[in-house]
Structure 1
Amino acid sequence: MKRLVAILMLLFLGTIAGTAQAERLVLVGASYGKNVLAICDTEGNVIWQQETSGPDKGHAGHHDLQFLPNGNILFHDTWTTLKEITLGGEVVWTYDAANSNGNTGKKVHVHSFKRLPNGNTVIVESGVGRIIEVNPDGGLVHSFPLRKGGTRATRLMRMTPEGNFLVCSENPGVVLEYTRSGEVVWEYPIGTRVYGAIRLENGNTLIASGGGNSVIEVTPAGKKVWAIEKQVPATDIQLQWTTCLQELPNGNRLIGNCHAGENNPQIFEITPDKEVVWEFDEFPLVGNGLACWDVLNDSQSERVRKQLNRLQED
């Protein structure tokens, strides 16, 4: 059964100065046999869906995606193939990490990437152990190696406001912040197969511990100041493989909760006071493999609706 909190109505159907707020849409990328990209409304109804090739045999699949300013979606169809598609299903950009920029014959997995405002794409390459930036033609414009010592198997990378790279390294389980020159300027060892980390507006770092079944907030000095572990307080939500994170303008946090089974939401919104105010629970659609998602803001959601309306008219 879909689990939605009553305050959802206040959040999404309320009014500001007499003008209705735009709805919140959720872009999801599920694997583990689901192999689908989809956009859902606040009630979980699918308004757009695209089947994907799925992962290489024996692997988990989609671990990152991005809703682009032009209304397209950037995702990886396999561990090594990145694609940009329109809502009409047209592939308008492809990058083959396995056979580009010196990787032919090498072991490489891509778990994270980011389209930059200048049109270039940052790609984190596990295995070969580097972060690269490529232009729209796939040409290499910048690169630097990830630090040695077991930190070359990564999960998510997110940019900081300063333009640094916040990288989650699975083994030995550490979050590293790199400058564009490759210098490590901050790190936090968490000791688990860490999945996601973002820099908060207050300057602290929010970390999804992955296999540690927790989300923690730490200061630049490494002091833990906030945490939810194993179970969200005052709820029956069990934390499993915590993944993507997002901070909302009101300070609330969106938490990804993968591999948690059909009795737990795959995404939930929690206040700094640890009150859960929204849940996304669409197990029939995404199953137990929703690692990556993007909750769209008002303008992004409005753009999706307009584009889908145009496609229907055509």
Structure 2
Amino acid sequence: MHVWPPNTEGDEWTHGNAVVELPDGRLALSFRNTSMVVFVDRETGELVWKLGAPPLSGQHAPTPLPNGNLLIFDNGPHRLDESLPFSRVIEVDPTTKEIVWTYQDRPLSNFFSPRISNAQRLPNGNTLICEGWFGRLFEVTADGQTVWEYVSPYFGDSPRGHVNHVFRAYRYGAEDVARWSGGRVTSPAAG
């Protein structure tokens, strides 16, 4: 297990960045600094599954998919199996731990967010990706073609300088908004 990446503070050596309930009631937990996603049995507290480095490196936002797989934004700041850092989005089959789908750019260095970020599988089969470190949101098809792209023009001061970071991004449909609003908001098509 990769347990101590460079520049890690001792008071937060795991950096838990996500807790997600799985359809069967187990919990998926993501630990960025140890490059590990684990499943925990909620009843017993037992660790029942884990995926670490490699293939993971500083990941964020493990998301269960309807097919039982897990979508993960694999940030890649300290890869053990590659000579340079790069990000990718991977879909993992938890039963085999096999990566069954990947989005990454060519050259690999064109897509890199060392921190933050997420990905969301959309109802049409495309994937919404938030490359958070550079404020870039984009949608890709199953074969990796970019459908649209947006880069946030909003910058603010931070200890790292003048940045346009976006932590995460999600697409919500009209039915989601209607459900959350108790039906008080309707889609434009509904008039």
How do 1:277-296 and structure 2 match up within 5 A? Answer: none
Cα distance in 2 for partners of 1:248, 1:159 equals 21
The 3 A distance-change label for structure 1 pair 161 and 55 is: farther
**Is contact 1:55-1:62 (8 Å) kept?**
no
Tell me which residue corresponds to 2:100: 141
Structure 1 residues without counterparts, runs of 5 or longer: 1-53, 204-245, 253-270, 273-314
From 69, 91, 112, the counterpart of 1:152: 112
4+ residue segments displaced more than 6 Å: none
Cα distance in 1 for partners of 2:173, 2:165 equals 25
Q: Does residue 82 in structure 1 map to residue 32 in structure 2?
A: no
Q: Tell me the alpha carbon deviations over residues 106-162 of structure 1, each in whole angstroms, 9 at most, x when there is no partner.
A: xx3201222222222222211332222222221222223147675421512222222
Report SS of the residue matched to 2:23.
coil
From 74, 83, 99, the counterpart of 2:54: 99
Tell me which residue corresponds to 2:63: 114
Bigger strand fraction: 1
From 181, 185, 192, the counterpart of 2:147: 185
Tell me which residue corresponds to 2:72: 123
Cα distance in 1 for partners of 2:136, 2:20 equals 24
**Is contact 2:138-2:148 (8 Å) kept?**
yes
Q: Of the two, which has the highest radius of gyration?
A: 1
How do 1:15-94 and structure 2 match up within 5 A? Answer: 57-58=8-9, 61-79=15-33, 80-88=35-43, 89-94=45-50
Structure 2 residues without counterparts, runs of 5 or longer: 77-85, 154-163, 186-191
Tell me the percent identity. Answer: 25
Q: TM-score scaled to structure 1, two decimals?
A: 0.42
Report the count of equivalent residues.
152
From 174, 178, 198, the counterpart of 2:170: 198
From 168, 180, 183, the counterpart of 1:250: 180
Cα distance in 2 for partners of 1:140, 1:115 equals 14
Report SS of the residue matched to 1:171.
helix
Q: Tell me the alpha carbon deviations over residues 147-205 of structure 1, each in whole angstroms, 9 at most, x when there is no partner.
A: 767542151222222222211112321111122211111222114100121112139xx
1:81, distance to aligned residue in structure 2 (A): 0.4
The 3 A distance-change label for structure 1 pair 188 and 248 is: same
Cα distance in 1 for partners of 2:134, 2:110 equals 6
1:82, distance to aligned residue in structure 2 (A): 0.2
**Is contact 2:134-2:166 (8 Å) kept?**
no
Cα distance in 2 for partners of 1:132, 1:142 equals 6
**Is contact 2:31-2:59 (8 Å) kept?**
no
